[in-house]
Amino acid sequence: MSAKIYRLADGAEGLFIKNERFNTTSVSFNFYLPLAADTAAAYALLPFILTTCGEKYPDFSVLNYKLAKLYGAQLDASAEKLGDYQLLRMRISVINDKYTFESESLLKEATDMLTSLVFEPAVSGGAFGDTDLRREKRKAAEHIKGEMSEKRIYAKNRLIEEMYKGSAYGVQKCGTLESVEAITGESLYRAWQDMLKKAYIRVQVIGAALPARLFEDISAKFEQIERVDITDCKINEPTAAVETPRTVEERMAVQQGKLVMGFSSEMQGDDDRSLPLMVMTDIFGGGPYSRLFANVREKMSLCYYCSASSVRQKGLVTVESGVEAGNAEKAEKEILAQLDAVKSGEFTDFEFEASLKSIRDSLGTYNDSQVALDTWYALKACNENVYSPDEIAGKLSGITRDDVVKAAAGVKLNTVYKLLPEEDR
């Protein structure tokens, strides 16, 4: 598997990952834009409305018929948060031409279809249509309400809101219900124009061969667009350390309490700068070998689950746990005690090696899925270097126990969020 980068326009590149193990080819458009409260909802709506209709495919039935003719090609979309940025993704996957009758050129048709959807939306008079807009706004609102109903997600989102008030990372990736409701056909059209003009763009192709003239045709599309104020998604504001950690408590009609803790880290940035933080976080609260699982959950039975994760672009470490209200304070203290243990190097060689093996095994799974590989490279656009999962697995061999201790030393508590049952007040 090899990767090659092609220049498409100012702030736009093509990435071809040659991989012959799959019977399909994946092509994705990835747009990176600043995350801001006044644009998040409209930007997040774009990938979904663009992949359900277009100028050449006026409704989903026409679009679906075309996908069926392409041997059941798969079209999907998503909106993600990547550090201080929104990542808008549109992807199509189609069977390789050599597996079709008479080697039909399905790949060219599929890539032309996706390009058309991105650059030629179903708009009239400088606005998206009311029917399409109402449908996508309803789906966006349902998604936001679903995350609010899932209290584990809700609690994590509330922690991030509290930690990053007034900054980009504190904005929800799909905006708020109010901002979704405020979207109009005209404002969404302006958001689409901004996406093409201002986003950092990466078009990714994963497959046995690069579709003929794909990057050249996309480059020609950009020649018709004035690219201005192009997003630099390699810049992320580090998570600041605080002198006095804050505690935010909220009461709701829930059966199980949620304790979410946010930490700043002095180790921040892309893989070349922050790989030890990934290992440290895994030893702290990764698999069943981790300090949090073995001690806080199993030995002391203080929570239903307890795990740690990191957002290395931001220098952020979080711990999520489900607790009984009466155990929330005890669990918090023990989580901090386990962090202190890692800072002191009080983890065994078994824990260290088990963590490295687990991370390598996890990295190995990316090669089993074209979707996962495409996501991997899309999420690495903020890196200075383009590393494959295998290359990152190889870099783990250079991580030492001292590196882990150094990474842990810079981890400091910032904010604690507790969601507790009303009846325990």
Q: Is the pLDDT of residue 32 over 90?
A: yes
Return the axis-axis angle of helices 328-343 and 401-409, rounded to nearest 10°: 130
Summarize pLDDT for 364-393 with one digit per residue, the tens: 999 999 999 999 999 999 898 999 999 999
Residue 122: pLDDT over 90: yes
Q: Is the pLDDT of residue 139 over 90?
A: yes
Residue whose pair of structure tokens reads 């006044």 in the numeric block: 38
What are the residue boundaries of the structural domains of the chain, listed by start? Answer: 2-222, 246-424
Pick the more confident residue, 197 or 382: 197
Q: Within the chain, how many helices (H) and strands (E) appear? A: 15, 11
Amino acid (one-letter) located at 381: A
Mean pLDDT, the chain, rounded, equals: 95
**Beta carbons within 8 Å of 276's beta carbon, 6+ residues apart:** 267, 399, 403, 404, 406, 407
Which pLDDT belongs to residue 103?
55
Q: Which DSSP helix (H) or strand (E) runs through 198?
A: helix 185-198
54 pLDDT above the threshold of 70: yes
Q: Which residues pair with 76 in a beta bridge?
A: 91
With a cut of 80, say whether residue 425 has pLDDT above it: no
Rg (CA), the chain: 23
Please give the full DSSP string across 137-177, using - where no structure is assigned: HHHHHHHHHHHHHSHHHHHHHHHHHHHTTTSGGGS-TT--H
Q: What is the mean pLDDT of residues 218-223?
A: 94
Helix H or strand E segment including 28: strand 24-34
Continuous segment of H or E residues that includes residue 374: helix 370-379
- Average pLDDT of 190-204? 98
Residue 287 CA to residue 314 CA, distance in Å, equals: 23
Q: In what order do the strands lie in the sheet with 412-421?
A: 246-252, 412-421, 257-264, 316-323, 305-311
What is the per-residue pLDDT for 211? Answer: 86
421 contacts 297 by C-beta, under 8 angstroms:
no
**pTM for the full model?**
0.95
**Fold exhibited by the domain 2-222:** Cytochrome Bc1 Complex; Chain A, domain 1 (3.30.830)
> Residues 248-291: pLDDT tens digits?
999 999 999 999 999 999 999 999 999 999 999 999 999 999 99
Partners of residue 272 on adjacent β-strands:
none
pLDDT band at residue 105, thresholds of 50, 70 and 90?
Answer: confident
CA dihedral 221, 223, 225, 226 (to 10 degrees): 160
Amino acid at 223: E
- Angle of helix 40-50 versus helix 130-149 axis, rounded to 10: 120
Angle at the Cα of 144 from the Cα atoms of 62 and 180, rounded to 5 degrees: 70
Helix intervals (H) in 18-164: 40-50, 60-69, 106-119, 130-149, 151-163
Classified by CATH at the fold level, domain 246-424 comes out as Cytochrome Bc1 Complex; Chain A, domain 1 (3.30.830)
